[in-house]
Structure 1
């Protein structure tokens, strides 16, 4: 999520200055913008060659850590393993540089309604599957399910980001995720921390986590993670302190995990004794298997955005804007067609639910919706839809999910939409 400029040659210095000027103009517009910043169009040179729907892959890039809780014999140790797995998901999701030390671009592509991303991880943990879908566009919301049948582990959730400006760009990620362990019939309800952007003035854009997030267990344990960044006088960036405690005895934690979510941390028992030091930087990620683009569904992210991503990688800002507008205009036209026909887009893999009893039971507030209703929509993975699509694919038939058309991508490329 950090700004990356192309390698600067003598003849590129003018472009760099132009980018800096455009960046500060963008920040100025952000500072005066009223409403959710996710609806604001970013300059093409800020765009990352990746859609937000791919962010769900960060949950399971270490499948062995995802399934590790299922192997523990006590509820206390399982809660600790869940906390450790969660901490392992933060580094690459929020790091300002990739594994090669190259700065990431700041702004991922905003998914269109119905955009999907499918993949799987295959390693010694077995096969771990992923299905992600953009289930709402206004307000934006992404739903996902990740599961490993070998170990009976399922993770399902939805994220509804809301961005606003207050001294800097801030992002709240409403929604939650539920991790379920079949063997122990346990659930863990997980919330996400807030993000704010640092380095706006210095042009060294980097995300930082702040606030508090929780993992509530159905077995009576809670993990509370407090995030902090480097202050004016002391402290380090990307820092956190996590306490795991029994719900009836919050003041006496069983474990305290402290360190930096992009580097390493220590695990201490309730008396302060160091039990282990975990080096997050040394964790090896399992590659995600994704179907070749030519075999993907038209709604799959990498196929749908290919022309835009190619332009971003070529550093062709004019082509980026042109190709991106084609998709956005086609989507607007598709929404108009639906409105005129009195129809609503059918979600491919998820179904909206009125309530979620598991989340209601585990969340401290007992509420799944925010004060502004931004995350009031609950989306659940629909096993029947998924099975039906799999059956049709095995028979070589077109999915029955959308009888009129399967995609708004490029269907109206010639039409100019105001």
Structure 2
């Protein structure tokens, strides 16, 4: 589904612009990928013919390789596009252990099945994405373009929940595919309990041979220093070398106390695009903690509720003409529109350089760590309600 809205007015006075919103990534997967160009496998492989294995990867993609949405939108959708509100359960559970298991289940829910052969747009510097789902308000900003770094701040004041994420993907080519490590800190704060949960991200692996596909893989650590409870999860494929019809993805791990020796409390086992269960080590009881069909299937496309409140930096506005070209498969129009967006950014960069100015994010304070990473902190305590709404 696609929602196109003509916007008159806005923060810069009287102006007319367009916002194009498309269906979120969901369990339905490739059923919504009818915008892809033909011969996509051959097209993808042609991109890597001169790339050496092990090298860092930076590619300029033509619209034929893009889905009609930005990385910033995909990043945000993972937390606000859900059928069942698992995040609230993290805050309302009675005990520290119950809250931790709810956080583990919620961390699984933010994964989305991706589509081989197409990627979101690389966000432009200063691009924003502002969406609300009920009382949960989400704001993202692209705080760096080279390297690409995205910041997220999400709050629910009524439920005392806060998310602060800073994300930087680092892709590398490995001959048979591309592996992208997602660097940065993901922090969930349950303010009423004074608990902070730090959550790693799995890697994204795009496989070319022997069978094309996209998977979330690798080890993830979740920890809460206040309670001393931790989890280790391992994401991987459930099929051998890409063959076979069942390409659903596995997740295994455990929840344990970080005291020495580490005491395992629960074992985690399942598939993140089906169900995930938790086994109590002491009693042997098995409980389903996550059902993907209930959480990330049949997701509804966000809608613009307040057109005049949509910023000109909003992802769905910045890329509207490109998205419209892709959806209609008018590749010439999409290519021209994408070139206009990119050239505008180069022009703004030249203007800043001529004035000796450095670009400063509008919604986040940014710092670099000693290890060369990025950290961000939101300027405002609470994210305000957004003009774009994710239906409940």
> TM-score if structure 2 supplies the norm length?
0.80
Structure whose residues are more often helix by fraction: 1
Aligned residue number for residue 223 of structure 2? 216
Name which of 261, 272, 281 aligns with 1:261.
Answer: 272
Q: Secondary structure at the match of 1:16?
A: coil
Structure whose residues are more often strand by fraction: 2
1:110 to 2:122 alignment: yes
Name which of 165, 170, 173 aligns with 2:179.
Answer: 170
**What RMSD, in angstroms, separates the aligned Cα atoms of the two structures?**
3.1
From the superposition, tell whether residues 272 and 286 of structure 1 become closer, same or farther in structure 2 (CA, over 3 Å): farther
Q: What's the CA shift string for 1:276-326, capped at 9, x where partnerless? A: 224221226576454566652111110111000000101122222111111
Rounded to whole Å, the distance in 1 between the matches of 2:33 and 2:381 is: 46
From the superposition, tell whether residues 185 and 287 of structure 1 become closer, same or farther in structure 2 (CA, over 3 Å): farther
From the superposition, tell whether residues 200 and 48 of structure 1 become closer, same or farther in structure 2 (CA, over 3 Å): farther
1:307-322 alignment runs, 5 A limit:
307-322=321-336
Name which of 138, 146, 159 aligns with 1:151.
Answer: 159
Aligned residue number for residue 99 of structure 1? none
Q: What's the CA shift string for 1:56-111, capped at 9, x where partnerless? A: 22123347211212112211111111101111111xx2344xxxxxxx76210000
1:58 to 2:78 alignment: yes
Q: Secondary structure at the match of 2:94?
A: coil
1:24-39 alignment runs, 5 A limit:
24-29=45-50, 31-32=51-52, 36-37=56-57, 39=58
Aligned residue number for residue 304 of structure 1? 318
Q: Secondary structure at the match of 2:358?
A: coil
RCO comparison, higher one (Cα < 8 Å, 6+): 2
Which structure 2 segments of 5+ residues have no match?
Answer: 1-24, 388-392
Contact 2:153 2:378 in 1 (8 A): yes
Q: What's the CA shift string for 1:230-255, capped at 9, x where partnerless? A: 23499964111021111015643111
After TM superposition, give the deviation of residue 275 of structure 1 in Å. 2.6
Q: Secondary structure at the match of 2:264?
A: coil
Aligned residue number for residue 256 of structure 2? 245
Name which of 48, 51, 70 aligns with 2:67.
Answer: 48
Aligned residue number for residue 7 of structure 2? none
Q: How many residues align?
A: 349
From the superposition, tell whether residues 171 and 153 of structure 1 become closer, same or farther in structure 2 (CA, over 3 Å): same
Contact 1:130 1:147 in 2 (8 A): yes
From the superposition, tell whether residues 52 and 292 of structure 1 become closer, same or farther in structure 2 (CA, over 3 Å): farther
Which structure 1 segments of 5+ residues have no match?
Answer: 9-14, 97-103, 355-367, 394-418
Rounded to whole Å, the distance in 1 between the matches of 2:33 and 2:209 is: 15
Rounded to whole Å, the distance in 2 between the matches of 1:379 and 1:7 is: 35
